[in-house]
Amino acid sequence: MTKIELLIVICLALFLFGAVCNVVKIDKLALKDVFEKHFLIGAALNDDIVSGKDPQAAEIVEKQFNTVTAENVMKWEKIHPKLNKYDFDASDRFVDFGLKNKMFIIGHTLIWQSQIPGWAFVDSSKKLLSRDAMLARMRDHIFTIVGRYKGKVKGWDVVNEALNDEGEFGKTKWLETIGKDFVAKAFEYAHEADPKAELYYNDFSLDKPAKRDAAVRLVKDLQAKGLRIDGVGIQGHWGMDYPIREDLDAFIDSIGALGVKVMVTEMDIDILPVASNYMGADINIKVDLQKKLNPYVDGLPDEVQKKLTDRYSELFAQLLAHKGKVSRVTLWGVYDKTSWLNNWPVRGRTSYPLLFDRNYQPKAAFYAIIKAAEKTK
């Protein structure tokens, strides 16, 4: 072998060694380690993941995350489908999965106006329940569920989406039957049922000033009543230019100032065209609209992928910049294929909102948020 040949072989060997090291290093990267000093990081889990039907997704969760939220199985319609019937099969599986993996388990959600059957608010003659009867039903629901997972579920989204964009209570059956203190009552019962569990208020658009101020009032009101509230979750169903930086900063600062935790509880970033922008637009043919609203059925073009990556990076950098104030970031799902955004707000779209792609591979956004953490001292 000539000297030149030897040199080439050595260079090749070094190159291969470097590449292997890199692969191993990347393979070892786990979000829960990267963000350990900053916040808990997690995902919402569907039943396929915990029941063993989607083992590749389960593997991602076990490796990457240290907190899990029930995507659907603890919602009223699933866990309490009939008046005298609770169904704990799926919720038990979810909690067992979290316990087995020593994760911080979040129960989602006790009191909400969606995904709840109509019977919950009426008596046997379909008449709206009285305040007292509704309170009794609410108490039974909360005691049964929180009681069952006492000491296991560490934090509960006690009330979800009670406020509207104007900063008032939304017109829900909860408000109609019980009155404004339905929120306080829910927190009171949840605390009685498990005094050690953390209790949260959870909602979307809390960056919008009127809604943010309403959330601040809500927390203050609970605190003034001497009730336990540990945190406020902003859902984080975000887009390419929403929320704006100043509003998100103001939300984190104002909730943080109340001495409660700030959490991003349902994060995903929607890169697809905003459906409401097309309402009333000059598009007559349905097929055309379908195409316009669902443009990336065969994959994201590079420049769009880059935009999504940059947006993830920017938002994580912003959350990290509020040192210590954000206590948890939970993604609303594990990988793109099973995200709820494939079917909302438009059915049957091909969506790209999460950190893992349709083939369970980490996306550029995954590496970008790791970089954002590395840049944060």
Of 181, 202, 165, 180, the closest CA to residue 74 belongs to: 202
**Shortest separation between residue 73's beta carbon and ligand XIL, angstroms:** 10
Residue among 38 and 349 whose Cβ is closer to ligand XIL: 349
Q: Virtual CA dihedral for 178, 105, 342, 279, nearest 10 degrees?
A: 30
Cα separation of 302 and 307, whole Å?
9
Q: Which of residues 316-355 bind ligand XIL (CB under 6 A)?
A: 340
Residue among 200 and 305 whose Cβ is closer to ligand XIL: 200
Among 71, 207, 230, 270, binds ligand XIL (CB under 6 A): 71
Cα separation of 278 and 292, whole Å?
9
**Number of residues engaging ligand XIL in binding (CB under 6 A):** 6
Using the rule CB under 6 A, is 268 a contact of ligand XIL?
Answer: no
Cα separation of 199 and 255, whole Å?
15
- Closest residue to ligand XIL, based on beta-carbon distance: 340
Active-site annotation, residues: 161, 266
Cα separation of 352 and 350, whole Å?
7
Cα separation of 121 and 133, whole Å?
9
**Shortest separation between residue 23's beta carbon and ligand XIL, angstroms:** 33
Among 66, 91, 160, 351, binds ligand XIL (CB under 6 A): 160
Residue among 47 and 194 whose Cβ is closer to ligand XIL: 47
- Check: CB of residue 49 under 8 Å from CB of residue 74: no
Q: Tell me the Cα Rg of the chain.
A: 23
**Shortest separation between residue 235's beta carbon and ligand XIL, angstroms:** 6
DSSP assignment, residue 130? Answer: P
Among 67, 72, 172, 254, binds ligand XIL (CB under 6 A): 72
Q: Which of residues 89-148 bind ligand XIL (CB under 6 A)?
A: none
Binding site for ligand XIL (CB under 6 A): 71-72, 160, 235, 266, 340
